């Protein structure tokens, strides 16, 4: 009997050893995969920062609109690409927000010049200092990420819940530089300042929650991560709004989540793991996404669009105003759903939680014949809220138009003034 017990013990030990090394191997593989991914994102952002600066230089060479069209398009494209790279890195929310704000302003500025909303001379005047600042930022970025040639330090600290104070200082300094350059290169108008104040989430009147409250809420929302190794930090004093930042690691899963300190609202979520080759179908993906939206309480939304890459589906939702049955595009949510099993990989609910204040507005019927050419067809008409030039949310007719001569356009027309707020050509 004792001999049999020893056999069981040895067998159990063997199973444990095999399991232990299997888990270790999975963690190592995940860490290596993340190190490679983050290293690629860092390198990509570094290269494109230099390209962006070069493209801005090119916009300062020409005077006529035709010659400026391609470099302006490059500025918009590169600023969007760098935004995508930065949003995929596990850097702090404040630094990330500063970067995204600066790059958005550069990209939007280029688009406004291309569409004739901003004079070329105004753009070129702003870019004289911006180009120098961009080169400075590119140098700082390269220095911050150098770390003696070890590009995977972000992953190492992320997985092990350790923070290298020097690297943290570098990233914070870089974020502060971006913020300063944003204020100098793109000074806010009075309306923009008011808009920004509203978007700082200061309007949330909910009571503050504790770290333990947030941990409990995290476990409730993500029961599969309830026993994960969790590390919680609070936002700095200079943050536009207070929030908790959670980093987690469980088996083959690693990621982070941000919650507002007031009310404990989930702002963002990102998780990384290895992926299987098998893929669920589109309908299963949509069902999984809608289930998550219901679970998180986002029931007043509508699916706007979705696209896929090799590992997941990216879905965009927006709040729907019940009174006018109109989409509020500014109150958006973005989800990332795993292609192999429908698991939630990412969420950005910042815009949704900020929630735009909708003013009352008249709805005056639109006479299409007085606005559009005779050969143009209205293929779809619905209601939506979009921003005007004064950054006000306006109720608009959202029209899908088509002409054999000029193609397909989406046009937004104010329901009260009948002003054309926005138009875009579709592929």
Query: How far is Cα 317 from Cα 320, in angstroms, rounded to an integer?
Result: 9
Lowest-confidence range among 112-121, 233-242, 400-409?
Answer: 233-242
Token readout for 146 is 């150098």
Cβ density class 100-131: b for 16+ within 10 Å, e for less: bebbebbbebbbbbbeeebebeebbebbeebb
Query: How far is Cα 377 from Cα 369, in angstroms, rounded to an integer?
Result: 10
Indicate the DSSP class of residue 374. Answer: T
Provide CB contacts within 8 A for 147, sequence distance 6+: 153, 167
- Reported pTM: 0.62
pLDDT digits 0-9 by tens, 321-374: 988 999 999 898 888 899 888 999 888 888 888 888 888 999 999 988 888 888
Backbone angles phi, psi at 9, to 5 degrees: -60, -45
Lowest-confidence range among 63-77, 142-156, 241-255?
Answer: 142-156
Residue 76 has pLDDT above 60, yes or no: yes
422 has which bridge partners? 412
Task: Identify whether the C-beta of residue 301 lies closer than 8 Å to the C-beta of residue 293.
Answer: yes
What is the DSSP track for 138-176? HHHHHHHHHGGG-TTHHHHHHHHT---HHHHHHHHHHHH
Token readout for 413 is 């027309």
Indicate the DSSP class of residue 307. Answer: E
pLDDT digits 0-9 by tens, 95-151: 777 777 778 888 888 887 887 778 888 888 878 777 777 777 777 666 555 554 344
Residue 188: CB atoms within 10 A of its CB come to 13
Q: Is the dihedral of CA 39, 44, 49, 53 positive or negative?
A: positive
pLDDT of 22: 45
pLDDT digits 0-9 by tens, 150-171: 444 555 544 444 334 444 445 5
Token readout for 283 is 């309908």
pLDDT of 19: 36
Backbone angles phi, psi at 215, to 5 degrees: -60, -45
Residue carrying the six token digits 């006018």:
324
- Report, as an integer, the average pLDDT of 61-85: 80
Alpha helices, H only, 256-307: 282-295
Residue of 378 and 60 predicted with greater confidence: 378
Instruction: Report CA dihedral (292, 296, 300, 302) to the nearest 10 degrees.
Output: -30
Lowest-confidence range among 126-130, 199-203, 238-242, 279-283?
Answer: 199-203
Q: How far apart are the first and last CA of the chain?
A: 76
| pLDDT band of 185, cuts 50, 70, 90 | low
Residue 301 has pLDDT above 90, yes or no: yes
Residue 306 has pLDDT above 80, yes or no: yes
pLDDT of 190: 45
């Amino acid at each position: 009997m004792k001999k049999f017990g020893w056999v069981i013990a040895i067998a159990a030990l063997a199973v444990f050893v095999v399991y232990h090394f299997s888990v270790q191997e999975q963690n190592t593989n995940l860490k290596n995969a993340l190190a490679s991914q983050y290293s690629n994102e860092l390198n990509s952002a570094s290269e494109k920062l230099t390209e962006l600066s070069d493209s801005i230089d090119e916009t300062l060479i020409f005077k006529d609109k035709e010659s400026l069209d391609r470099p302006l398009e490059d500025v918009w494209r590169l600023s969007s690409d760098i935004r995508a790279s930065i949003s995929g890195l596990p850097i702090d929310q404040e630094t990330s927000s500063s970067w995204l704000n600066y790059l958005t302003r550069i990209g939007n500025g280029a688009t406004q010049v291309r569409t004739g909303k901003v004079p070329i001379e105004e753009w070129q005047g702003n870019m004289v200092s911006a180009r120098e600042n961009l080169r400075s930022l590119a140098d700082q970025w390269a220095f911050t990420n150098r770390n003696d040639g070890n590009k995977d330090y972000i992953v190492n600290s992320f997985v092990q819940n350790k923070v290298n104070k020097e690297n943290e200082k570098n990233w914070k300094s870089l974020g502060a530089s971006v913020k300063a350059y944003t204020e100098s290169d793109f000074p806010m108008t009075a309306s923009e300042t008011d808009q920004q104040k509203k978007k700082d989430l200061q309007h949330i009147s909910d009571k503050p929650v504790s770290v333990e409250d947030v941990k409990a809420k995290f476990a409730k929302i993500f029961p599969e991560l309830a026993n994960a190794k969790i590390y919680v930090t609070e936002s700095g004093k200079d943050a536009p709004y207070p929030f908790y930042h959670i980093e987690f690691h469980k088996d083959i899963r690693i990621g982070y989540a941000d919650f507002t300190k007031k009310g404990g609202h989930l702002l963002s979520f990102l998780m990384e793991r290895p992926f299987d080759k098998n893929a669920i179908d589109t309908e299963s993906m949509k069902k999984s996404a809608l289930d998550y939206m219901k679970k998180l309480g986002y029931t007043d939304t509508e699916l706007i669009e979705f696209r896929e890459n090799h590992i997941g589906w990216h879905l965009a939702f927006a709040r729907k105003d019940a009174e006018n049955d109109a989409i509020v595009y500014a109150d958006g949510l973005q989800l990332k759903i795993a292609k192999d099993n429908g698991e939630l990989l990412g969420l950005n609910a910042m815009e949704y939680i900020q929630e735009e204040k909708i003013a009352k507005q008249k709805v005056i019927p639109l006479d299409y014949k007085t606005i559009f050419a005779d050969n143009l067809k209205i293929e779809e008409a619905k209601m939506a809220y979009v921003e005007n030039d004064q950054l006000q949310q306006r109720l608009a007719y959202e029209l899908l138009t088509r002409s054999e001569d000029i193609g397909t356009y989406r046009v937004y027309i104010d329901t009260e003034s009948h002003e054309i707020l926005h138009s875009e050509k579709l592929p």
